[in-house]
Amino acid sequence: MTFSQDLRDENSDIFQAIFTHPFVQGIGKGNVPKEALEHYIKADFEYLNAFIQIYGMAISKSNDRRDMAFFNDQIQFVLHSEVHPHHNFCESIGVNYDELQGYALPPTADHYVKHMMYHAQTGTLAEIICALLPCPWTYLEIGKELMKTYKPADDHPFYKWIRFYADESVEKITTTMRNRLDELATEASIMEQKRMKEAFRKSCQLEWSFWEMAYTREEWPDAKLVGSR
């Protein structure tokens, strides 16, 4: 059993909860409330900006050129490819992508980004990868689950989104990160392995929470307090 397979097994409860989340199921059914999609894109645009910065932090912790090249490729991927699923969501609700950019992160997305930054700043390379891996891994499995369950045709409103994440490019990213993690884990102390597992589980939980945040349109209290009392 590899370290990354252990991680997957230990967190299958959260993976399962992500697949059944109403936002994720709504993507499969082709029916997500417009407000939830807007809230998601606003937060995810800024989340991806932070993700790029964290890949930069990971490069600064890398000594091996293959790691540097991988993180560099991922920065390109987030910059140039991950805009496609966002465009798909925007088209489905008839909103211009530009209008959903530049918003402050809601609490859960803010927490998620800072959790990854914490591990990128204070942790080893293995720990950083553990904090980052649930991001491609859960999306890959969401894509595959939705493909299998709903078999979307190309006129499905979220066909492009589902295809994008079920694709082999996201599979390759996940596999590369898993393999590197498995290598690094063999040299990690028990204490480091514990921190790695905690970083991974917390990111899985925050992936679920990110869907929930978008679905419930979570905001900072000050936005709600205005005029409520």
Ligand X SMILES: Cc1ncc(C[n+]2csc(CCO)c2C)c(N)n1
- DSSP 3-state assignment of 185? helix
* Nearest residue (CB) to ligand X, 179 versus 194: 179
* Nearest residue (CB) to ligand X, 45 versus 191: 45
* Nearest residue (CB) to ligand X, 171 versus 189: 171
Instruction: Give min distance, CB of 159 to ligand X, in A.
Output: 17
Give the one residue of 70, 208, 210, 215 binding ligand X; rule: CB under 6 A.
Answer: 210
Subset of 60-79 contacting ligand X (CB under 6 A): 74, 77-78
Subset of 123-182 contacting ligand X (CB under 6 A): 135-136, 139, 170, 173
* Nearest residue (CB) to ligand X, 3 versus 139: 139
- Cα angle vertex 22, ends 114, 165, to 5°? 65
- Displacement of CA 199 from its chain's centroid (Å): 14
Q: How far, in Å, CA of 64 to CA of 39, rounded?
A: 38
Instruction: Give min distance, CB of 107 to ligand X, in A.
Output: 14
* Nearest residue (CB) to ligand X, 132 versus 185: 132
Query: 14 near 204, Cβ under 8 Å?
Result: yes
Query: 109 near 207, Cβ under 8 Å?
Result: no
Kindly list the distances between the CA atom of residue 27 and the CA atoms of 37, 66, 154, in Å, as whole numbers in the listed order.
10, 35, 14
* Nearest residue (CB) to ligand X, 60 versus 194: 60
Subset of 77-116 contacting ligand X (CB under 6 A): 77-78, 82
Instruction: Give min distance, CB of 61 to ligand X, in A.
Output: 16
By the rule CB under 6 A, 44 interacts with ligand X:
yes
Q: How far, in Å, CA of 73 to CA of 67, rounded?
A: 10
Query: 74 near 55, Cβ under 8 Å?
Result: yes
Instruction: Give min distance, CB of 228 to ligand X, in A.
Output: 28
Task: Number of residues interacting with ligand X: please give it, by CB under 6 A.
Answer: 14
Query: 121 near 73, Cβ under 8 Å?
Result: no
Residue that the structure tokens 């990868």 belong to: 129
How is residue 80 annotated by DSSP? I
Name the residues that contact ligand X, by CB under 6 A. 44, 47, 51, 74, 77-78, 82, 135-136, 139, 170, 173, 207, 210
